[in-house]
Amino acid sequence: MSIQEVTAEQLAELLYHYHQALGPDFGCNKQTIPGSWNDLPNDDRNRAVAAACLALLELGSTTEGRADSMRYFAKPGEAEWGC
């Protein structure tokens, strides 16, 4: 799956899952955080999805911008020298 195929909700849920899985390794108190993505209050879930959406937009624009700027440059070994 490419980054273009990932929805903001999928990314937010995956990050939440990793946050839960890594919490004990960093001394987080697991009892203060709901155990499941579906147990999160709607406001928290909506905020996480909005943050993931912004991250995907930024990653997409960075990738597209890089591709646009690179189209003017020759690939290694293909440059023509001289006039």
Is there a domain that residue 76 lies in?
no
Is residue 77, in this structure, part of any structural domain at all?
no
Distance of CA 14 to CAs 2, 11, 21, 46, Å? 15, 5, 11, 14
79 inside domain = no
Structural domain contains residue 43: yes
The total domain count for the chain is: 1
Q: What is the pLDDT of residues 19-60, one digit of tens each?
A: 888 888 888 776 666 778 999 999 999 999 999 999 988 887
13 domain residue, yes or no? yes
pLDDT band at 66 (very low <50, low <70, confident <90, very high): low
- Is residue 62 within 8 A of residue 5, CB to CB? The reply is no
Range of the domain at 30: 3-65
Sequential DSSP letters for 29-47: -GGGS-SSGGGS-HHHHHH
